Amino acid sequence: MMAKGKKSLAAANTTDEMVNMQSDHSCFSNDSEKTLRADAKQNRELILQAARKIFSEKGLSVQISEIARMAGIGIGTIYRHFPTKEALFDAVSISYKQKLTEEAKALISHTDPGKTFFDFLSGIMEDGFTNRAARDAFRIGTFRARTEVSGAMLDLQSACDDLLTRAQQAKAVREDINIMDLFALMSGLLMIVDELEDVSDTSRFHHLLAIVFDGLRFKTHD
């Protein structure tokens, strides 16, 4: 009986050890998975930070290898997160549009709808003039929206449409223009930037922007 009891106790101890080993292995696996997820998240953010900077300077003509060097990671790591350069640009573009959407929504309750509307548009255009990534994101999203970015563009258009409607109701913007007209005008002007002989000379761009804004303003007829 004692031998049998010892065997039972030994078996129980063995079972407990196996359970503990499995538990330790499970904890180790969970910790490893968490570390891998954290590393992947960090790498993704490094990629996006580098992409924003280089895209802003060179637009879509940039090589993936340049982004990898700036991010301090391998090209393969970029492709694991973003299968193509266009997919990476789309991620940057979506982030940019989401930022603008939040800014537009925050302005909806401002007391001067006309000034708010033109100041917001001016900010977008100024950013587009100096930042090729912003320029390309806005232009491509308006005329050639891909499925991946169309949702972000629609959200931005909706938020801007609210600002436009308030400005029209305040008689600050002409009533016969809609949000698609507005985005076409803005995108068209941003396309001209690449054709300017001297992009460091902002006077030409500001002159053209003033003409567009003057055309948007509400005018009373005598």
39 plus 100 within the same structural domain = no
Query: What does the pLDDT look like over 7-24, one tens digit per residue?
Result: 554 444 555 555 455 555
* Distance (Å) of CA 196 to CA 155, 185, 205: 31, 17, 9
CATH code for position 177: 1.10.357.10
89 plus 72 within the same structural domain = no
Alpha helix locations (H) across the chain? 2-58, 64-71, 75-81, 85-106, 113-130, 132-143, 147-169, 179-193, 202-216
78, 99, 115: which is the final residue of a domain?
Answer: 78
203 plus 176 within the same structural domain = yes
pTM equals 0.76
Query: What does the pLDDT look like over 194-221, one tens digit per residue?
Result: 777 566 678 888 999 999 999 999 987 6
32 plus 126 within the same structural domain = no
Say yes or no to pLDDT of 53 above 50: yes
58, 78, 98: which is the final residue of a domain?
Answer: 78
Is residue 65 within 8 A of residue 76, CB to CB? The reply is no
Structural domain range at position 165: 85-216
d(CA 39, CA 167): 47
13 plus 38 within the same structural domain = yes
Give 2's pLDDT tier (boundaries 50, 70, 90). very low
DSSP lists the bridge partners of residue 197 as: none
* Distance (Å) of CA 79 to CA 32, 64, 136, 206: 22, 9, 22, 39
